[in-house]
Structure 1
């Protein structure tokens, strides 16, 4: 169950981040409201997941997948360019998360 909460936290964070772009500097109320609610929901879900998972790997996964999700969403929704160096950066982020998770368990108790 904590991994489901983490997955939902990531979805909420990516939604909030993409809405931040769509809010046009908080001048559009709809996307602005999604930003606030999305980040609140994301942190609440991640906090709940952290009751049984270790903070380092959880934060690494949350931030890495959030970064990649925001990158992909920017490309798909806003037509942002895909540059080889950005793809390489995403691969490095994923590699870093994998290495972090190899270093220790995800659960505590």
Structure 2
């Protein structure tokens, strides 16, 4: 269970770092740039802890898939990014893939 908490922290810190990446304006603004660097360092650290018991393919697919969806939602809310039907369907498929893989895969520790 602890590994899944580590993976959740890795996902959240990656989402924070990626969100700050736009605000860093090409690393020309100091505070958002620091958030990006610290966020990615923490994200990879916690991902490495999760990988002690979660298979790398499962952990990375979950990390990346949920990160994509969360970043897209943040971009929609914070930056007014438009989401068309294709984007919504694609994100739904990503989420469905993560859920199916984690609930029904025999390689996922439950």
Q: List gaps (5 residues or longer) in structure 1.
A: none
Maintained 8 Å contact 2:13/2:42: yes
Residue equivalent to 2:75: 74
Instruction: Name the counterpart of 1:28.
Output: 29
| Residues 10-44 of structure 1: CA deviation (Å, up to 9, x unaligned) | 00000000100111111111111111110110000
CA distance in 1, matches of 2:31, 2:105: 42
Match of 1:63 in 2: 64
- Which of 85-94 and 62-71 deviates more? 85-94
Quote how far apart the aligned CAs of 1:104 are: 2.3
CA distance in 2 between partners of 1:69 and 1:97 (Å): 13
The equivalent residue for 2:98 is: 97
Distance 1:24 1:83 in 2: 26
Unaligned 5+ segments in structure 2 are none
Task: Give the distance between the partners of 1:27 and 1:89, measured in 2 at CA.
Answer: 33
Q: TM-score, normalized by length of structure 1?
A: 0.91
Name the count of aligned residue pairs: 107
Deviation at 1:99, TM superposition (A): 3.6
